[in-house]
Structure 1
Amino acid sequence: MNINHNLAYRVRLQLLNSGRVLIALFIFSIYFSTSLAVIFSVGLGLVWLLSTRFIDLPGVLKKYPVALWALMLYGCFILGLSYGNAAGSDAVSMASKYRELLFIPILISLLTAERNRYWAWRTFIAASVITLLVSYLMDLGILNLNEQGGACFKSRITHGIFIAFFAFFCAHKIYDDKRYAKLYLALFVLCLYNLFFVIEGRTGQLIVVALILLFAMQRMAIKECLFAALITAVLLILFLNFSDKASRITEGVANTQAFLQPVPEQTESSMGQRYTFWKYSLKLMAEKPLLGHGTGSFAKEYQRIAIGEPFITKNPHNEFLMIGVQLGLLGLLVYLGFLASQLYCARKLPFQQKWLAQGLLLSLVIASLFNTPFFDHTEGHWYAAMIALCFAALGSDNKIISSDA
């Protein structure tokens, strides 16, 4: 019996060690390869099952409200399969797109060991630096990895989210890591230049400005914070008025003004289209406010209600509306609960993790206003991994992880 027990323990320990490697590979692959991210996510699921970590799931859900709310949100999508007029294939496809919510409790249970988190953060840094370097090489014409011609490996929106949060991370490292403070300062400047003068993605620009202000509130005294806000405002005004790279921002402002006219003007820009998508999405929510139209119903219902519109979408580019149309107020309240749980739990984290978790949440909220981060594969897997990485530190002293320390 002891031999069998020792053998089982060694096998389980080996699986958990391989899980550490798979987590690093999974995080790295999110930045560069969708297919590899899927493969490594399956591997992590198998490690979680074969190492019997699933036995700890009730304890994980109890000690990590973020994981519980993520599971509840996915449960709403499963519930939404039971009603609505969406084709079965569309409904199942939609539910599968939100499967990354399931990885939050799985990854948390594998990241409770401090050593696993250490290597996960190192992988995040490496992937971010490579992403930044590749972007500059593409901008210089040395590399050509984007068929659409942009200077980023992924989409402009995805790249902006990644680099904006990395800039926020570097800002904290400038304060905390005196040994490499100059290196992180250089990376921070490179991130800002990349976002405003190379990629020019509005989502990334908005997120990084918000994160800079959040950083000032987190780390500075009131007078310093006000001064930082003033400097940020002055630099933005100069950028908007004197840089030819600000055209997409001014275009977005013009589209907003056109939409707010007594008779809204139709525009063909991405921002103008978003306003139209949101208008019809709100009408769909008003039709079935409580439970929505069912999982996978958005595309069909939007096509029904937006008759005569030149642009028909399968995605409203707003996570709140995407969930609200399909799952009604029930799903929307659960998503808000998921966000609120991050705000609540972040307060219990050590300072560095708390600050990063707050920044990640702010990034997610902004991304959810203008895009559908959990509907989109890359952003969804990235947010799931980063949420798990930030909040796994909550259980660093409890019994769930002590057995694997």
Structure 2
Amino acid sequence: MDWNSLRRRCDEASRWMAVATAFSLAVSTALCTVTMVLFLAFWIASGGYRAKLARIRAQPIALWSSALLLMLMLGVVYSSATLAQALDTLRSYRELLYIPLLLTVFNEEQWQRRGYCAFLVAMGLTLILSYCKLFGWPPLGPPKEAYTVFKGRIAHGLLMAYAIYLWAEHFMQQGRWRWLWGILAALGLVNLLLMIGGRTGYFVFFALIVLFMYRHWRWQGLLASGLVVVGLALAASYTSDIFRARMGAMVNDLKWPEAKVITSGRVRLEFYSNTLGLIMRHPVLGGGTGSFIPEYAELAKEKALYPTDNPHNEFLLITTQVGLLGLVLLLMLGYRQWRMSYGLRPEYVAAAQGLIVTMAVGSLFNSLLLDFTEGHFYALLTGICYGSFKSK
């Protein structure tokens, strides 16, 4: 076997590992880690760096994600955190590096389709097993979260909300498998709103309903989406103890934020308020990568606050570390993705726009780029949706 043949095989292997990661993402953190490491190894071994660099340079998304990553790397230099803390935080943003690499392997339609289908198959499997747990099998998932399977309620809810949106989009396309997409969307809706207690998933799903109806019926759909969201929320409140308890707790937290009872909602409001105070100390460049941990720990000790290693809001976390400049880079990344979505293959426009809405809404309540599953989800779906984008 000559060198060129070996490199071609490594290139194909890297693409298959990217597809395998799209499947394992929703199924297993350990398996996802293994497939991602193999992807990186085969990507490096396949060579052809000049051609790969040309693909990356032609992708505005790759440039903006690289700019944000470089800003975080620079933040290590002036961080108030220890070097170990700063580097550990920087490692958590490795998905920003994965984005340019994944864009180079999902640059052909057949690989886009394989990656996209792998993700949907994994979500279909997750949905089926979640319903199986109604009958006591399989014994998977966190023990306190009855119907989750592979992930906790936050990740399960977010991924399921996005999957329902995709299945609904396929249902609208009038294909021969329309009946299957309709069943999956309906079962997913029941699973998310009646069986899973993840409020992030609820809000992401409601936002995706607005996007879905606007995409298909424009302003009439946008106006009607409010009624649909309210109707679904009321129906879920009357039929699901889980939904009623989770949303009721949130309403109580907003009504009486000064109550002494510690709840996740009140703690998050406290995180947001105190993080804004940290941002005001160094608004332009932030306190450096990883700085949130020691600075909030010091503040918590001084004021006897509830401790945390992140504010559960990606926008606040980025701003407190790399300032308003970092926030602008993050927002520009999302903005460029939205603008570019109109130039994608028709079958990926809805998926790309849904991805942006999912990450934007989810990041209001969680530090999604920092989280393993959600961060990899963003990198992989960005690669899949935008891989074949051609700059005009």
- Paired letter, 1:386: L
Residue 210 of structure 1 deviates from its aligned partner by 1.2
Residue 356 of structure 1 deviates from its aligned partner by 1.3
Alpha-carbon contact 2:368-2:375 (below 8 Å) kept: yes
Which of these residues, 186, 190, 196, is aligned with residue 189 of structure 1? 186
1:217-236 equivalences under 5 Å are 217-220=214-217, 222-223=219-220, 226-236=223-233
Alpha-carbon contact 1:34-1:378 (below 8 Å) kept: yes
State the distance in 2 between where 1:387 and 1:314 align: 27
Q: Does residue 1:254 correspond to 2:248, yes or no?
A: no
Which of these residues, 381, 388, 392, is aligned with residue 386 of structure 1? 381
What residue is the counterpart of 1:301 in the other structure? Answer: 295
What per-residue deviation string (whole Å, max 9, x for no partner) do you get for residues 358-384 of structure 1?
111000001110001110111111111
- Paired letter, 2:169: H
What residue is the counterpart of 1:201 in the other structure? Answer: 198
Which of these residues, 155, 158, 172, is aligned with residue 155 of structure 2? 158
Q: Does residue 1:75 correspond to 2:73, yes or no?
A: no
Number of aligned positions between the proteins: 388
What residue is the counterpart of 1:374 in the other structure? Answer: 369
SS at match of 2:290: coil
- Structure 1 223/97 Cα, relative in aligned 2: closer, same or farther at 3 Å? closer
1:266-277 equivalences under 5 Å are 266-277=260-271
State the distance in 2 between where 1:224 and 1:284 align: 41
- Paired letter, 1:196: L
What residue is the counterpart of 1:214 in the other structure? Answer: 211
TM-score (norm. length: structure 1): 0.91
What per-residue deviation string (whole Å, max 9, x for no partner) do you get for residues 326-361 of structure 1?
111121111111111111111211333112111110
State the distance in 2 between where 1:222 and 1:61 align: 36
What per-residue deviation string (whole Å, max 9, x for no partner) do you get for residues 14-59 of structure 1?
1222123211211122222222222221221122222224323442
Q: Which sections of structure 2, spanning at least 5 residues, go unmatched?
A: none
Alpha-carbon contact 1:322-1:372 (below 8 Å) kept: yes
Q: CA RMSD in A?
A: 2.0
State the distance in 2 between where 1:327 and 1:286 align: 12
Q: Does residue 1:167 correspond to 2:164, yes or no?
A: yes
What residue is the counterpart of 1:9 in the other structure? Answer: 4
Q: Which sections of structure 1, spanning at least 5 residues, go unmatched?
A: 1-5, 399-405
State the distance in 2 between where 1:282 and 1:25 align: 40
- Structure 1 147/229 Cα, relative in aligned 2: closer, same or farther at 3 Å? closer
- Paired letter, 2:369: F
Q: Does residue 1:354 correspond to 2:349, yes or no?
A: yes
Which of these residues, 33, 36, 42, is aligned with residue 31 of structure 2? 36
Which of these residues, 77, 80, 88, is aligned with residue 83 of structure 2? 88
Residue 142 of structure 1 deviates from its aligned partner by 1.3
Alpha-carbon contact 2:22-2:116 (below 8 Å) kept: no
- Structure 1 113/285 Cα, relative in aligned 2: closer, same or farther at 3 Å? same
Alpha-carbon contact 2:81-2:291 (below 8 Å) kept: yes
- Structure 1 34/238 Cα, relative in aligned 2: closer, same or farther at 3 Å? closer
The worse-fitting range, judged by mean Cα deviation, of 17-26 and 371-380 is: 17-26
Alpha-carbon contact 1:273-1:311 (below 8 Å) kept: yes
State the distance in 1 between where 2:81 and 2:55 align: 34
Alpha-carbon contact 1:284-1:325 (below 8 Å) kept: yes
Residue 170 of structure 1 deviates from its aligned partner by 0.3
What residue is the counterpart of 2:132 in the other structure? Answer: 137
Which of these residues, 280, 283, 286, is aligned with residue 277 of structure 2? 283
